[in-house]
């Protein structure tokens, strides 16, 4: 099952799932300003979705039609829980299921999930199979790193390919390296070669082979296009570059040319969406990590940023931004 993946024009550019960043509110503002080819949800615990705490996790699976195609990302070390959670994802109408096998967070690793799965190829394959069984109408993809403590792509990638996921997103660092070293795109390119070699040996046509998505240090669309061409990936995933820049995937908008007014209006709308959609289930201070990125590089930016970073609610943000917008109007 390849689903929407086969309809994407190559190279394609997708938004990374960032915990407490790319939530439903931020994805909505991104969809309005510069939609990627594929959206991901934040990663969600399949174990939690199979527990009494399920209701607390469902807000992480809110999405709108404007975000399609959208993939729900799950994590777990238990195939049966992945199967049941994937069935829920299909029931909720998502376009795909993605399994996180690259998260280096200690709490996730202790569960045997995330990047810990690079140490157990059989379990990783079983989890992919379980996702396919739970959501037979959806394509299943995975997101991984180059390995656990060392580069292990020569064994890791073929092991994953045996499970025939629709796509593999490869972050160009090991679990141990976190984000402390530059992403190794030469190794991502080798993953493409491994995919091609494996597909040829298995007599799998290019149209049916698993897609390879590169991830790590892509600074913007232009840089992502250059990486796609140079390293031969089918697509590129962008993450940190999205902070304060919902125009990231918009070909017609260069960040350097976006006006102060546009950024302030986007910040306000983003905060309004968060308050409206998630205000009753998530603390408002989550929004603060976005404020500094939106408010930078223009007059009075530091003072405004400092005020925003101590706001406790939507009303305080609305007052500050409207004051700044009024100042801009009177100075024009």
In angstroms, rounded to a whole number, what is the distance separating the alpha carbons of residues 309 and 295? 11
- In this structure, are residues 149 and 123 in contact, taking their beta carbons and an 8 Å threshold? no
DSSP code of residue 210: P
In angstroms, rounded to a whole number, what is the distance separating the alpha carbons of residues 316 and 144? 40
- In this structure, are residues 97 and 83 in contact, taking their beta carbons and an 8 Å threshold? no
pLDDT at 328: 85
> What CATH fold (topology level) applies to the domain 259-331?
1.20.120
Domain assignments of the chain as residue spans, ordered by start:
3-242, 259-331
Residue 13 β-bridge partners: 236
In angstroms, rounded to a whole number, what is the distance separating the alpha carbons of residues 242 and 42? 14
Q: Detail the DSSP E strand segments found in the chain.
A: 12-15, 39-40, 44-45, 70-75, 96-101, 140-145, 167-171, 211-215, 235-238
pLDDT tens series, the chain, 332 aa: 689 999 999 999 999 999 999 999 999 999 999 999 999 999 999 999 999 999 999 999 999 999 999 999 999 999 999 999 999 999 999 999 999 999 999 999 999 999 999 999 999 999 999 999 999 999 999 999 999 999 999 999 999 999 999 999 999 999 999 988 999 999 999 999 999 999 999 999 999 999 999 999 999 999 999 999 999 999 999 999 999 999 999 988 887 789 999 999 999 999 999 999 999 999 999 999 999 999 987 878 899 999 999 999 999 999 999 999 998 888 76
Residue 98 β-bridge partners: 73, 141
pLDDT at 1: 67
pLDDT at 28: 97
- Both tokens of 56, joined, read 């607390």
Grouping H, G, I as helix, E, B as strand and the rest as coil, residue 101 is strand
DSSP string, 214-279: EES---SHHHHHHHHHHH--SEEEE-GGGTT-TTTT-TT--GGG--HHHHHHHHHHHHHHHHHHHT
Q: Are strands 167-171 and 140-145 parallel, antiparallel or unpaired?
A: parallel
Q: Which top CATH class is 3-242?
A: alpha beta
- pTM of the entire predicted model: 0.95
> What are the residues whose beta carbons fall under 8 Å from the beta carbon of 64, sequence distance 6 or more?
24, 27, 28, 31
In angstroms, rounded to a whole number, what is the distance separating the alpha carbons of residues 3 and 67? 16
Q: Burial level of 1, CB count in 10 A (0-12/13-18/19+)? A: middle
pLDDT at 193: 98
Check for a shared fold between 3-242 and 259-331.
Answer: no
Report the C-alpha dihedral over residues 247, 289, 142, 185, rounded to 10 degrees. 70
In angstroms, rounded to a whole number, what is the distance separating the alpha carbons of residues 332 and 330? 6
191 is an active site residue:
no
pLDDT at 332: 62
Catalytic residue among 30, 44, 103, 117: 103
């Amino acid at each position: 099952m390849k689903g929407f993946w086969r309809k994407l024009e190559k190279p394609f550019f997708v938004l990374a799932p960032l915990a407490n960043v790319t939530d439903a509110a931020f994805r909505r503002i991104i969809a309005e300003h510069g939609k990627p080819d594929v959206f991901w949800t934040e990663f969600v615990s399949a174990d939690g979705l199979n527990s009494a705490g399920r209701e607390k996790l469902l807000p992480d699976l809110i999405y709108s039609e404007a975000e399609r195609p959208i993939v729900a990302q799950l994590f777990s070390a238990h195939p049966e829980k992945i199967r049941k959670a994937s069935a829920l994802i299909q029931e909720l109408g998502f376009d795909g299921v993605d399994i996180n096998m690259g998260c280096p967070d200690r709490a996730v690793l202790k569960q045997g999930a995330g990047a810990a799965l690079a140490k157990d190829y059989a379990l990783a394959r079983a989890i992919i199979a379980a996702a396919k069984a739970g959501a037979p109408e959806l394509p299943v993809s995975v997101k991984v790193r180059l390995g656990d403590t060392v580069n292990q792509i020569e064994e890791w990638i073929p092991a994953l390919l045996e499970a025939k996921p629709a796509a593999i997103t490869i972050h160009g660092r090991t679990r141990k390296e976190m984000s402390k070293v530059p992403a190794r795109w030469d190794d991502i390119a080798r993953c493409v070669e491994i995919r091609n070699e494996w597909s040829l040996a298995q007599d799998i046509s290019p149209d049916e082979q698993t897609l390879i998505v590169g991830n790590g240090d892509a600074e913007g669309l232009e840089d992502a296009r250059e990486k796609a061409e140079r390293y031969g990936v089918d697509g590129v995933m962008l993450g940190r570059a999205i902070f304060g820049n919902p125009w990231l995937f918009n070909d017609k908008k260069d960040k350097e040319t976006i006006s102060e007014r546009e950024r302030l209006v986007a910040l306000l709308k983003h905060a309004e969406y968060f308050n409206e959609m998630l205000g009753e289930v998530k603390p408002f201070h989550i929004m603060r990590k976005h404020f500094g990125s939106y408010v930078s590089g223009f007059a009075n930016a530091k003072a405004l940023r400092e005020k925003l970073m101590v706001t406790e609610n939507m009303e305080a943000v609305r007052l500050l931004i409207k004051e700044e917008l009024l100042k801009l109007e009177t100075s024009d």
